[in-house]
Structure 1
Amino acid sequence: MAAPRPAHGCGSGALLGRFGVLLQALLALCAFSTLMLKRFKEPKAERRPWRIWFYDTSKQAIGALFIHFANVFLSDLTEEDPCSLYLINFILDATLGMLLIWLGVKVVSWIVQHKKYTYLVFGEYGDPPQAAAWIGQCILYLLIMVFEKTVISLVLLIPGWTKLQQILLGYIPNPQLELVLVMLVVPFIVNAIMFWVVDSLIMRKHKQKDTLDINGSIETPRVRRTEESQVLLSPDMDFDQSESDQDTSGLHGTNQKMKQPSYQVVI
């Protein structure tokens, strides 16, 4: 009788074990630090206040936590290697899922702008910022993540993923090394890119100061237009005035010449 194949990969429940939870906490800290770095890389004139930055990034944090725990739950449903199944979920989230998130943000943004729900526009919280707007946007973003995870779960029902699982992590004999790669190294690299891209999607786009966005058209305030008009028109006015002064003086000179009497000496 042939010897049984040696077990490899993560065991059942490894993702929620003490070592797995420690790796997940470290991953959250490292991934969130990329958003801090992105804020300091923004131009000073466009850099978001801390409160606005927190409102923007917390939506991503809520969505990422939902996706993460959904992947952990789905990975523990089967008797297969949970680490490799988690990695496949994660790769699909970072590729097809990223496209679905982008599409969802665009569709939701178009709907709320069409319906003129101002406080539901991603990145717009009012002046001063309102917590109600942030809560509404968090709910919308979470619905987008639910849609994305539902589609990814349906894709996983397609047969053939088991062979890919064996190809990805079957050569790693150490279960803890596999857990580190699946729960820390690969997710940190991919999450850093995803957080950076999604933050650019849902943050408020920089607008010039003293501009009013009314019904989708940008209008310059009347005060600025008046000042610019004065600056633009003043040289012409001076030029016209100087020309008129010259013309007037020329006419006066001509009249004086015409009015000067001519004397003839008669002998």
Structure 2
Amino acid sequence: MALAQPAGRTLAAAVADLRRGWEQRSLWGHLGWQDIRQRYRRSVLGPVWITISMAVTAVALGVLYSGLFDIDLALFLPHVLVGFIVWAFISGCIAEGSEVFIANEGLIKHLPSPLSVHVYRLVWRQTLFFLHNLIVYLVMLFIYPQDLKWTAIAVVPAFALLALNGAWVALTVGVITTRFRDILPITQSVVQLMFFLTPIVWVYDELVNSPNPDVAARARLAEFNPFLHFVEIVRRPLLGQDQLWRHWAVVLVITAVGWALTMLVLRRYRSRVSYWV
């Protein structure tokens, strides 16, 4: 059996794994693209089915909650659609990241490549899905034009931060789940729960500015939800809204702390993954 990890439980070895994995972009880029083609090999529309499914769900929930919350559909539906697009990327990185090494057991045991290759492959695949889903956003712009500003370019560094965080989450949760398989269903349940706790199908600003002080106070608790900040740094520029720099500050802190934790996990347990799978 050829182990995929270089020897050594040092920080330098962990960094080398990430660097060598990045250098093999042609490998994980090809594998990520093949994942999509394989999944929709006999389908006429291919990956567009993902976009159609997401669009139908977002529109249905947007129309429903627009009536329940008595919010203008022209304002609420773009909010929900873009929120769904961003959430699909976030939840995909977490859910698939929790089993990224388990699902690639054969490659890890027999292909001499860094562990990070499988994480880069996952994030690349989710990025392709994200780009497919942007078709819904472009269609929405024709139906509900947004007052986009030059600050819309901020979506590029915002998505880069999403990808960076998706990578460290997949690495950390993937290693832990490989050792403790009970973490997998827990992770999936948490992702489902956080969907409802994150302002995807409800508007945070509407509740915070509610005339009912109790509702406003409870709504402010959403600030402790890290997913709120990740969604907002992408959604606000896409909807032409002003940036709130506290969202960026929180995301940057989580990125730094998350990668620091990941490097510790990768240094200590990277060499054991091939035995755990």
Q: Same fold (TM over 0.5)?
A: no
Computing the radius of gyration from Cα coordinates, the structure with the larger value is 1
